[in-house]
Amino acid sequence: MKILQLSKYYPPTHGGLEIVAEFFSRAAADLAHETRILSLGPETKVYIGRYGETVYQSKENYNFKSAPISLSYYRKWKELVSDSDVILVHLPNPLAHELIKLSQAAIKTRKCRVVGIYHSDIVNQVLLRDAYNLYFMKDIELYDDFICSSDKLRKSSSIIGSLPEPKIHIIPYCIDPVNSLPRNAGSSGQKAKFMAIGRMVPYKGYDFLLKSFKDLPFELTMVGDGPLRSELMKNAPKNVNFVGEVTEEEKFRLFSEHDALIVSSINRSEAYGMTIVEAFSSGLPVISSNIDTGVTFLVRNGLTGLTFPILSAPGLTEQVHRLGSDKALREKLGKNCRSFFEEKLSYPAFKKNFKNFLSTT
């Protein structure tokens, strides 16, 4: 079977969507399918990915509100669409959606299955969101199926939440924990240590997190970079330490040295949380805001972590005190999230789900 993925970007570009796209390529290769990728980047080139997939990267000429545009993308698309059996479209992606719309005849002739991999709703850009939603819903029947990371996201989405359930297939996204280390936090009887990791942008709620941590008797390690980092560092309390960007190996070392990850995101832009999956692979419990997306599919209150109401300082501090003062609870949640990872979020589970999906008609 020939599988074509339409993705905004692709590794070595690093991000949550790119990680997911690469895992689809890996699973396809392990299942003996041929995979091609059509993506964008700083230049036009062809290269071979880590799992033998051919990546056709088109030069990005323009970018409007995080929607990349390429003049050469369409030419390569015309060549690939006529020779594909399954097209995986990573959404939201206005350019890719328009190509599907323009190529209906070729897709029907080939009897090609078009699958939307629905990562998230558009949240922050209100005018763009409303315009895109109308535009997308008008031609949503172009897609034979949708893949969604969790039933929580499906039910709460303004787009795919209205579709018939048989059209939506739930495949939780995974990681392969090659860098995971044994947990050693708390073994010396020292005070619990917390961490947060991610791009320092408004929806992550880091300003709220730092203000809430000001009077807590615990340490917080902030990992990552972004446009808000300087302002956050200037206003951070003394019990917060910034370490900047880290390598994959360093990230998992930090997981092994801390007692919990905090996810303080404030809206549905946090649609899943690959960092949460990474933490679970290390047996690290998570305290998170109760966003009704894949976040609360992953962080199940009292089972794999603790949750608090969005932007609630009392709610957050209560859960930090609770977890920070109860080593037995940390150990219980750590074991639970590791078991949950093995059952639902590991690569073997992902590959099995994708294989079952491809076998459906």
Pairing state between β 67-69 and 62-64: antiparallel
Examine the pLDDT at 243 and tell me if it is beyond 90. Answer: yes
Percentage of residues in the chain with pLDDT exceeding 70?
93
Q: What is the pLDDT of residue 94?
A: 85
For tokens 């390598």, name the residue.
247
Please report which confidence band the pLDDT of residue 182 belongs to, taking 50, 70 and 90 as the band edges. Answer: low
Per-residue confidence band for 74, with pLDDT thresholds at 50, 70 and 90: confident
Phi, psi of 240 (to 5 degrees): -115, 130
pLDDT at 125: 66
Proportion of the chain in helix, strand, coil states, percent, rounded to 5? 40, 20, 35
CATH 3.40.50.2000 domain range(s) in the chain: 2-173+347-359, 193-345
What pLDDT, on a 0 to 100 scale, did the predictor assign at position 186? 47
User: Whose structure tokens read 């190529």?
Assistant: 103
Among candidate residues 281, 300, 280, 304, the one with its CA nearest the CA of residue 290: 300
Would you say residue 65 has pLDDT above 90?
Answer: no
What per-residue confidence (pLDDT) applies to 307? 98
Given a cut of 50, whether residue 188 has pLDDT beyond it is no
Bond into 68 cis (ω within 30): no
Q: pLDDT band for position 250 (50/70/90)?
A: very high
Helix (H) or strand (E) holding 101: helix 94-102
pLDDT at position 95 is 85
Task: Write b or e for each residue in 146-182: b if 16 or more Cβ atoms lie within 10 A of its Cβ, otherwise e.
Answer: bbbbbebbbebbebbeebeeeebbbbbbbbebebbee
Q: Please write the tens of the pLDDT for every residue from 272-317.
A: 989 999 999 999 999 999 998 999 999 999 999 999 999 999 999 9
Mean pLDDT calculated for residue range 21-46 = 96
How many Cα atoms are found within 13 Å in the side-chain-facing hemisphere of 97?
Answer: 20
The domain made up of 193-345 has a fold known as Rossmann fold (3.40.50)
Beta strands 2-6 and 34-41 are: parallel
Q: What residues does 126 pair with on adjacent strands? A: none
Measured in residues, the chain has a length of: 361
Cα–Cα nearest to 198, from 360, 16, 334, 323: 16
Q: Does the pLDDT at position 189 exceed 60?
A: no
> Which of 3.40.309.10, 3.90.550.10, 3.40.50.1100, 3.40.50.2000 would CATH assign to domain 2-173+347-359?
3.40.50.2000
The strand pairing partners of 349, in sequence order, are: none
* pLDDT the model gives residue 132: 77
Average pLDDT, the chain: 91
Q: Select the more confidently predicted residue: 189 or 215.
A: 215
- For 104-155, write each residue's pLDDT tens digit: 998 988 899 999 999 988 776 666 677 878 888 889 999 999 999 999 999 8
CA–CA dist 78, 74 (Å, integer): 6
Say whether 191 sits in a helix, a strand or coil.
coil
pLDDT of residue 251: 94
Q: Is 252 a residue whose pLDDT tops 70?
A: yes
| Percentage above 90 pLDDT, the chain | 72
